[in-house]
Amino acid sequence: MPSSLSKNTPARHRFSRSALSRCMMGALLVIIAAGCSNNAADATSNTSVVGGAETNVSQVSSAKKVSAATVAADSDPAVVEALQANLKASGIEETIVSAVPTEMDGMYWVTAEGLPSFFTDKSGKHIIQGQIIAVGDGAPVDISASLVANTAKEALSAVDKKEMIIYPAKGETKSVIYAFTDADCGYCRKLHEEMADINARGIEVRYLAWPRSQESVPKMEAIWCSQDRRAAMDQAKMGANIQAPSCANPVQEHMALGARLGVRGTPAVFTEAGQQIGGYLPAAELAQAAGAN
């Protein structure tokens, strides 16, 4: 096992969420995708825009797109402080990382530790979930789309490759995807069955651990603690009961990262650019969604 893996010291276990995180997870409105849910709804797909219109992220001008570096620079400390104080007054201990102004006056995009990102007002008195759609200037535009993607892009690129189980592309690497996976999820197994086809299409798959229940945690940790992780993953996807000596592993960190990115079901697939492209997709559709065609 690589020595670079840090020991698991998560601030908050995913299966004992705070009142706020439970509320937020329960309130997310999503369209059911091809995936295995660990709660009442599956969040492995992107919600659609008002009236079924397609979200047109490309129409957001470059001036309105916020890079990860700008996110930190543009964070309003007064809003962060106000939101933190209001949460504390309600008996909620959460760490707010940033509050970035959006193109909607008085609306801020909030990043917090261990929570999906959300909107708040300037007073930090309200937590707002879901999409905000800009209309009146061409096709409807989800103003949070680029913010969500940038958050995911930076968080996923920061994960050490040694902490993931990677299935490299065959030949030229045309695209990279990250997939939060669970060994016991039927749709995760279906995706894994197509791994050879996916890799042959020039797609590198980087697995992160997302056990959907407390009972699945030991199996996922055993996979990551195996001497040959890919072989262990292959066997687990076929139903084998994987056993391995306990070790320092990144499973809890992956779970915390998934919670921060709003993952609620598996497989949860992200592109290298941070866009969540859904749950299970057949290899040909996955290649199209990941830009590997």
Residue 222's CATH number = 3.40.30.10
Q: What is the pLDDT of residue 236?
A: 97
Band (278; pLDDT cuts 50, 70, 90): confident
Say whether 212 is catalytic. yes
State what percent of residues in the chain have pLDDT above 70: 75
H/E stretch holding 181: strand 175-181
Catalytic residue among 12, 182, 184, 260: 182
Q: What is the pLDDT of residue 144?
A: 81
Nearest one of 254, 184, 179 to 213, comparing CA atoms: 184
Strand partners, 204: 176
Instruction: With respect to residue 271, please indicate whether it lies within any of the assigned structural domains.
Output: yes
Mean pLDDT of 41-54: 32
Residue type, position 152, single letter: A
Instruction: With respect to residue 61, please indicate whether it lies within any of the assigned structural domains.
Output: no
Q: How far apart, in whole angstroms, are the C-alpha atoms of residue 123 and residue 107?
A: 10
pLDDT tops 90 at residue 221: yes
Distances (CA, A) of 289 to 146, 195, 202, 210: 17, 16, 13, 22
pLDDT tops 90 at residue 10: no
Q: DSSP string spanning 58-86?
A: GGS-TTT---HHHHHHH--HHHHHHHHHH
Catalytic residue among 184, 188, 225, 264: 188
Catalytic residue among 206, 212, 229, 260: 212
Q: How far apart, in whole angstroms, are the C-alpha atoms of residue 146 and residue 148?
A: 5
Instruction: With respect to residue 81, please indicate whether it lies within any of the assigned structural domains.
Output: no
8 Å CB contact between 207 and 251? no
Instruction: With respect to residue 89, please indicate whether it lies within any of the assigned structural domains.
Output: no
Q: What is the pLDDT of residue 145?
A: 83
Band (14; pLDDT cuts 50, 70, 90): very low
Q: Which two tokens stand for residue 157?
A: 């690129």
Instruction: With respect to residue 142, please indicate whether it lies within any of the assigned structural domains.
Output: no
pLDDT tops 60 at residue 1: no
H/E stretch holding 187: helix 186-193
Domain count, the chain: 1
Say whether 185 is catalytic. yes
Instruction: With respect to residue 148, please indicate whether it lies within any of the assigned structural domains.
Output: no
Mean pLDDT of 179-187: 95
Q: Which two tokens stand for residue 222?
A: 């055993």
Say whether 188 is catalytic. yes
Higher pLDDT, 151 or 153: 153
pLDDT tops 70 at residue 228: yes
Q: What is the pLDDT of residue 59?
A: 33
Catalytic residue among 42, 185, 189, 264: 185
Q: What is the pLDDT of residue 48?
A: 30
Instruction: With respect to residue 240, please indicate whether it lies within any of the assigned structural domains.
Output: yes
Instruction: With respect to residue 80, please indicate whether it lies within any of the assigned structural domains.
Output: no
Q: DSSP string spanning 82-143?
A: HHHHHHHHTT----EEEEEE-SSTTEEEEEETTS--EEEETTS--EE-S--EE-SSSS-EET
pLDDT tops 90 at residue 258: yes
Structural domain that includes position 221: 159-289
- Put simply, whether the predicted model's pTM sits higher than 0.85 gets the answer no
Pairing type for strands 265-266 and 36-37 reads antiparallel
State the chain's mean pLDDT as an integer. 80
